[in-house]
Amino acid sequence: MTKFSRKKLIVAAAPLAAAGPLARIALAEPPQRSATHEGHEHTVTGHAAMIGEDAPSIERNAAVDALLTPPRALPHSPGRLREYELVARDVDIEVAKGVTYPAWTYNGTAPGPVIRATEDDLLRVRFRNDGSHPHTIHFHGIHPAHMDGVFEVVPPGGDFVYEFPARPWGMHLYHCHATPLKKHIHKGLYGAFIIDPPKPRKPAQELVMVMNGFDTDGDGGNNFYAVNGPAFYYARYPIRVSRAQTVRIYIANLTEFDLINSFHLHGDFFRYHRTGRDEVVEYTDTVMLAQGERGIIEIDFANTGRFMFHAHQSEFAELGWMGFFDVVE
């Protein structure tokens, strides 16, 4: 793969030969096209126009699709065993159209699979390292010291079983804690970890979004940004939701190299529960998250139609962190 830098991708036309259609996203004057809305024709320009086949993302991928929907919540049952298996693998993944990245993954995707339990479940995660480097799993939350994923480094070919009561309830995350830490995270070893409260949340259409980025040229800065893996994925494949049902998004930021990332919703406001707790609720259309921050977004859409969501760092949006909700009755 021909390498191209983040700076060149944003400000120069030179990468066109190397990056193909992706580099055209960065040009100041993207071509116009006609679009119709309720029978009226108008022109649209820029990244807001990139939806469906116009968005330069990868072909539909079942493994990526599976990351959007969490396992179902189970009622409170103290002591119930919840078991998962995570396998570290070195995998070349397609992070943008025509761009591959040599990732370190849990179960072949970056982010890894969603892990879910209810508070007071006994969580058991069997970890096997089929990668080429030592790895661990560090879970955010409360657990014994020998289950923390710092000293329990698993060499290639090794395995380890993490087992502890799931607590406290909220939206958490997991990631590798082997050194150098920033490399193990930016290479893809992270995922969402949901612990449901003893009293069930109200019914909702539930989604998971893990914000991430990819440094494809090794210069210590991300070339592409996304949620759940590939750049522009939810622009090419808008997320269909119902106006009649609350949309609940479990969101976490695992973006390396950048101090903050963000989520902005067009056309509506949402309730934001920091760390997935109910103690403090914000009503807003934009939230900022440092690495490791996470929360729950709840949206009750007032209108139908296609509504954009993206990072409110414009650079992140134009390099892949954007998508659409297709709100229907």
* pLDDT > 80? residue 322: yes
Residue 263 · residue 241 · CB < 8 Å? no
Residue 217 · residue 138 · CB < 8 Å? no
Query: Average pLDDT of 112-129?
Result: 98
Residue 112 lies in a domain: yes
> What amino acid occupies position 245?
Q
* pLDDT > 50? residue 26: no
Q: How far is CA 13 from CA 27, 217, 320, in A?
A: 7, 17, 18
* pLDDT > 80? residue 229: yes
What would the pLDDT profile of 32-75 be if each residue is shown by its tens digit? 444 444 444 433 445 556 899 889 999 999 999 999 999 999 99
Q: Which domain holds residue 139?
A: 75-196
Picking from 290, 298, 307, 294, the residue whose alpha carbon sits closest to that of residue 272 is 298
Residue 209 lies in a domain: no
Q: What is the CATH number of the domain that holds 94?
A: 2.60.40.420
- What's the structural domain count of the chain? 1
Residues with Cβ within 8 Å of residue 37, at least 6 apart in sequence = none
Q: What is the DSSP letter of 201?
A: P
Residue 181 lies in a domain: yes
> What is the residue-averaged pLDDT of the chain?
89
Residue 133 lies in a domain: yes
Instruction: Please give the Cα distance from 162 to 197 (Å, whole number).
Output: 21
- Asked if the bond preceding 198 is cis, omega within 30° of 0, the reply is no
Residue 102 lies in a domain: yes
Residue 172 lies in a domain: yes
0.75 surpassed by pTM: yes
What pLDDT shows up at residue 27? 37
What pLDDT shows up at residue 38? 46
Picking from 7, 26, 31, the residue whose alpha carbon sits closest to that of residue 16 is 26
Residue 205 lies in a domain: no
At 127, the pLDDT band (50, 70, 90 cuts) reads very high
Q: How far is CA 190 from CA 6, 49, 240, in A?
A: 23, 31, 26
Residue 175 · residue 140 · CB < 8 Å? no
3-state secondary structure of 179: coil
* pLDDT > 80? residue 324: yes
What pLDDT shows up at residue 13? 31
* pLDDT > 50? residue 31: no
Query: Average pLDDT of 16-38?
Result: 41
Residue 297, beta-bridge partner list: 249, 272
What would the pLDDT profile of 185-205 be if each residue is shown by its tens digit? 999 999 999 999 999 999 999
Hey, how many other C-beta atoms are within 10 angstroms of the C-beta on 36?
8
Residue 231 lies in a domain: no
What pLDDT shows up at residue 5? 55
Kindly report which listed range (44-48, 218-222, 250-254) carries the lowest average pLDDT score.
44-48
